[in-house]
Amino acid sequence: VQSDPRQVFDDLVRFETVLWAAVDERLRTACGLTLGALNVMLVIDATPDCRVLDIAQALAITVGGTSQAVDRLEKAGHCARRANPSDRRSSILELTADGRTMLEQASPVFDAELARLLQQPITAAALARLGDTLAVLRRSAVSSSTDPEPPA
């Protein structure tokens, strides 16, 4: 039984590092795509009228960093900025045909690595509990960083 918070923090951070590196390596060699790039493309693909801000919130990174990531994706020809008719401060992001092709090629590679590193080592029930717990922790952490102080 493992309940020392420092040890949980350590295993969480180190496993995330190893998991990210392994998936990234696989995507690079198989598709020439970075995991960071794939993450952005998945958000664009899943979000109607997607803006830079939507990606930043979905990935829990800064808006500035997201803008640069979109620059790189656009330079690689995987996505494009389109004029936003309802708000001229922002653009609507969409995948190019090339980007959709990349996404289709990368998806099975992504899923295979997740199966190998997440599903194979533990039971389906354990994975489901892990997902539930992480979802609760994530929502709690995000809301506590948004709300400076609880009502007295």
Q: Which residues bind a second copy (CB under 8 A)?
A: 1-9, 11-22, 59-61, 110-111, 114-122, 124, 126-138, 140-142, 144-145
Strands (E), 1-152: 79-83, 91-95
Q: Does 70 bind DNA (CB under 7 A)?
A: yes
Q: Contact with DNA (CB under 7 A): which of 89, 147, 150, 152?
A: 89
Q: What is the DSSP letter of 50?
A: B
Question: From CA 78, how far away is CA 21, in angstroms rounded?
Answer: 22
Quick one: which segment of 66-74, 96-104, 124-132, 140-148 binds DNA (CB under 7 A)? 66-74
Question: From CA 36, how far away is CA 25, in angstroms rounded?
Answer: 11
Specify the residue, 14 or 129, whose C-beta has the smaller distance to DNA. 14
Tokens 């996505």 correspond to: 79
Q: Are 74 and 55 in contact (CB under 8 A)?
A: no
Q: Which does 129 bind (CB under 5 to 8 A by kind): DNA, a second copy, none?
A: a second copy
Interacting residue ranges for DNA, rule: CB under 7 A:
17, 21, 25, 34, 36-37, 51-54, 61-65, 67-72, 81, 87-91
